[in-house]
Amino acid sequence: MLSRVSVVLADWCPHCVPLSLETTKRLAGELNVPLRVLDIDDSKQEKIADKLVKEYGDNAEDYLIPQVFLEYDDGTVRHIFTGFSEAVKVTEAKWNDFFNSDFYRQELHGKHSGTGN
């Protein structure tokens, strides 16, 4: 089962705050799980964020933010979103696409599991 949504972000990033922070709050609420916010400008949170991105996300030396992950009870982590380097409107449009996706509709109805089913 889905256990939480995690978002890697920074307060100074216009793709992150308020857009993706508010969007991931909505996402976690609709999926009825907690939201974990990992701010890369906080040294403790940055270590966790870097590990999450390195193991499961779109990793690069200066990786793009925000990045969003679904975490499951069995330890599976799914990277579901990376912000875009273009205008904030591009990131906003991609969030809208996500909420209209079959993947998201299946998550809402609990048809995905951490094992990739």
In order along the chain (117 residues), what is the average pLDDT of each group of 10 residues? 97 97 98 98 98 97 97 97 96 97 92 52
- CATH number among 3.40.640.10, 3.40.30.10, 3.40.190.290, 3.40.50.720, domain 2-108: 3.40.30.10
Cα dihedral sign, 107-112-113-116: negative
pLDDT recorded at residue 113? 52
pLDDT recorded at residue 116? 45
Residue 65 DSSP label: S
pTM for the model: 0.93
pLDDT recorded at residue 110? 81
Answer yes or no: are the C-beta atoms of 79 and 58 closer than 8 Å: yes
pLDDT recorded at residue 117? 38
> Residue ranges per domain, the chain?
2-108
How is residue 38 written in tokens?
A: 């990992």
CA gap 85, 71 in Å, rounded: 25
pLDDT recorded at residue 114? 55
Strand arrangement, sheet containing 67-72? 35-39, 2-9, 67-72, 77-82
